[in-house]
Amino acid sequence: MPGSTAVALGLRGGHISETGPKVCTGVLAFLTAGLAIPYLFYPRYQMTSIFGYKGEVSALAVHCLSVIGAEAMAIIALLLYGLRTQSKAVREAMLVIYAIQMPFMIFAQVQRAFLTWEEAMLGPLPVNMVQIALAVGGVVMGRM
């Protein structure tokens, strides 16, 4: 049935104030899952292959990445709820909270740097900037 996914998500025929925040919430859930799942299930691979860490990966590093991935699962669940809820206020609150936490993420990546600035600009920082733009954009569109 054409458009059934759009209808199920409430995106079909809606005003930008309805569809925009839902699209932003869904994309944020997808991006967060794309980052969190490998951290949770493949932390050692993330350290050596993705981050380019040379040497033995400590149990503490594996633990920390796994905890980051596990914590993100709650964020993904909330975003998915925000995608499905009919309450604009709930969706907006989730997007605002997501936007508020991103500067702290950037602070951690810059002040507690594992990567050089150039390496961070090739990976995590642009992703964080997109996440902030989606969260703020979703709030702004919801108020149109």
Domain ranges of the chain: 14-142
CA angle 9, 15, 19 (to 5 degrees): 35
- Give the pLDDT confidence score for residue 14 in this predicted structure: 62
- Give the pLDDT confidence score for residue 63 in this predicted structure: 94
Biggest alpha carbon distance in the chain?
54
pLDDT tens series, the chain, 144 aa: 455 555 555 555 567 777 888 888 999 999 999 989 999 999 999 888 877 778 888 999 899 889 999 999 999 999 999 888 888 888 888 899 888 888 888 888 777 666 676 776 766 777 778 888 888 888 888 887
Global pTM reads 0.76
- Give the pLDDT confidence score for residue 12 in this predicted structure: 54
- CA of 32: how far to CAs of 62, 72, 118, in Å? 19, 7, 23
- Give the pLDDT confidence score for residue 1 in this predicted structure: 46
- Give the pLDDT confidence score for residue 101 in this predicted structure: 86
